Every structure is written in structure tokens, then in C-alpha cells.
């Protein structure tokens, strides 16, 4: 049996990008997957890929900041697949703009999805894990949540909040055997979010991804699979003594 054999994982934003890669990596490790996403087409495609790996998959359409949708997804996941052992809070959005041109609506929307979404999913799943005295939660933050980035003021604010929320929950539920950690990716290509960021960089005359990659010590940008590998590690028994961490996955672009 693999490290994750017999476990059930819920991945938000699991239909595409980093979420899809995490879902497939967990499935390769033996986990069954509940996928939660706003894009029905990509959601069903990823569910089919999970099933092709010989694992069970359930797909739930909805918004992570919609409390009723989160409740339905969690109840549906446990009903179809069994007790949730892993929660990956991956769903998120990014809006790039100079601070002086960032409107309050853009700030609120990033806080709604990136922070409230994590909060609501954790509030629904973590009590189940506490009751069972075991579980692993992984939240997707960013290296922009460790150091404020120009043109990313609202996004940075949301990801700083995610890291703080991660650490606060981790400290509170550690006595119950539940671990909570964050992953802080750097420049990840091959995702819809990266394409949107690239377009914004062109609009504001900022360096493109290729130029920014020159500053990465390991000499390349990340692929979604690079992040997925860290998520699989954190979900595995090998990480049983790790909680409350915000792990940078940046190729050395950010070093703690």
C-alpha cells in the first residue's frame, strides 16, 4: 500500500493548474479525491484522470467562499468517498495592479476567495478531523505572502492573511493530531493564473516571466508538479512532525 492508500482528500480549485496537479499526485499516492471547483468542464476532466489512475473521484461544482456550497461539497465528499483525511485549500485568484489603481472591489474579491474560502473550508472540515484526532490541511499561500510585492498589494495582503490563518489554526488543533501547513509557490507557469499575471505585466510594462526567471537561483520557473510534490510530502506520514509551516517553493527566489 502506498503512503496515502485508503485516504480521502478534498482539493479546492482541483480542476486545473496547481490544484489538478496536486489531485493527480495524491491519486498516484493512493488517495481518493473529492474535487471542488467553479469550472465544471475542467472539474469533470480531472475527475476522469483520477479515475484513470485507479482511484475514486467525486466532483463538486461551487465557489469556496459560498458557505452553502462548501457545506454541500464536504458532506457529499464524505458521503461518497468516506472520511476526509486531507484538505488542500488551493482555490485562489490574483489581480495585478499598481496600489494607487487598486480599487476596493478588487481587494474585497481577493480576500473573499483567498482568505474567506480557506476559512470556510477549514471551519467545515477541521472539526471532523479534530473529532477523529487525525488529519492534514494544506493551504496555498505565496511567496508574496512572505514579502509584499509591487503591483500585488491586494494579493499580498490576502496571502499574508492565509499564512497567519494557517499558523493560528495549526497551533489550536495540534493537540488533536491535526496538522496544518502552507505552501508558498514562486513563479509557477502553465496555469491560468500565470497567463493572467503575464497579461497584466505586459499591460503595465513590467518584466515578463522569462526575464524574471533570470533572478531564480535554480535557473528555472516552477511547473505545477513542483508544488504538487511538496503537497504530497506534507500529506504523507513522512511529514507527521511538521505543522504551522509556510514552505517556500520558489527555486531560491525567496529564502527564509
Domain-located, residue 87: yes
Which residues touch 108 (CB under 8 Å, ≥6 apart)? none
pLDDT at 40: 95
Dihedral of the CA atoms 235, 34, 192, 45 (nearest 10)? 130
pLDDT at 192: 86
Q: 119, 143, 152, 155: which is the annotated catalytic residue?
A: 155
Active site residue 155: yes
Residues of the chain with pLDDT under 50: 1
CATH number of the domain residue 235 falls in: 3.40.50.720
pLDDT at 221: 96
CA distance 27 to 49: 9
The SS3 call for residue 237 is helix
At 167-196, the pLDDT tens digits run 999 999 999 999 999 999 999 998 988 888
C-alpha cell at 42: 475542467
Domain-located, residue 241: yes
pLDDT at 43: 97
Model's pTM, two decimal places? 0.96
pLDDT at 166: 98
pLDDT at 202: 87
Note down the domain range covering 116.
Answer: 8-187+224-248
Total of domains in the chain: 1
| Other residues' Cβ atoms within 10 Å of the Cβ of residue 120 | 22
Amino acid at each position: 500500500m502506498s503512503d496515502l492508500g485508503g485516504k480521502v482528500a478534498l482539493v479546492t480549485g482541483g480542476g486545473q493548474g496547481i490544484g489538478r496537479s496536486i489531485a493527480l499526485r495524491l491519486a498516484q499516492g493512493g488517495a481518493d479525491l473529492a474535487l471542488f471547483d467553479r469550472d465544471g468542464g475542467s472539474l469533470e476532466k480531472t475527475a476522469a484522470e483520477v479515475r484513470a489512475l485507479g482511484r475514486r473521484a467525486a466532483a463538486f461544482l461551487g465557489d469556496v467562499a459560498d458557505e452553502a456550497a462548501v457545506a454541500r461539497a464536504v458532506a457529499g465528499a464524505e458521503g461518497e468517498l468516506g472520511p476526509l483525511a486531507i484538505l488542500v485549500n488551493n482555490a485562489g485568484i490574483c489581480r495585478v495592479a499598481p496600489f494607487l489603481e487598486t480599487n476596493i472591489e478588487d481587494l474585497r474579491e481577493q480576500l473573499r476567495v483567498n482568505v474567506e474560502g480557506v476559512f470556510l473550508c477549514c471551519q467545515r472540515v477541521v472539526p471532523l478531523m479534530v473529532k477523529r484526532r487525525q488529519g492534514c490541511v494544506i493551504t496555498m499561500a505565496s511567496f508574496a505572502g512572505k514579502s509584499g510585492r509591487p503591483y500585488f498589494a491586494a494579493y499580498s495582503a490576502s496571502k499574508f492573511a492565509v499564512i497567519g490563518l494557517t499558523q493560528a489554526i495549526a497551533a489550536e488543533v495540534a493537540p488533536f493530531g491535526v496538522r496544518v501547513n502552507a505552501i508558498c509557490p514562486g513563479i509557477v507557469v502553465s496555469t491560468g493564473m500565470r497567463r493572467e499575471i503575464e497579461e497584466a505585466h505586459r499591460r503595465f510594462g513590467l518584466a515578463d516571466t522569462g526575464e524574471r526567471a533570470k533572478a531564480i537561483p535554480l535557473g528555472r520557473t516552477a511547473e505545477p508538479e513542483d508544488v504538487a510534490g511538496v503537497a504530497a510530502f506534507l500529506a504523507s506520514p513522512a511529514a507527521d512532525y511538521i505543522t504551522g509551516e509556510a514552505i517556500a517553493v520558489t527555486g531560491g527566489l525567496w529564502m527564509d
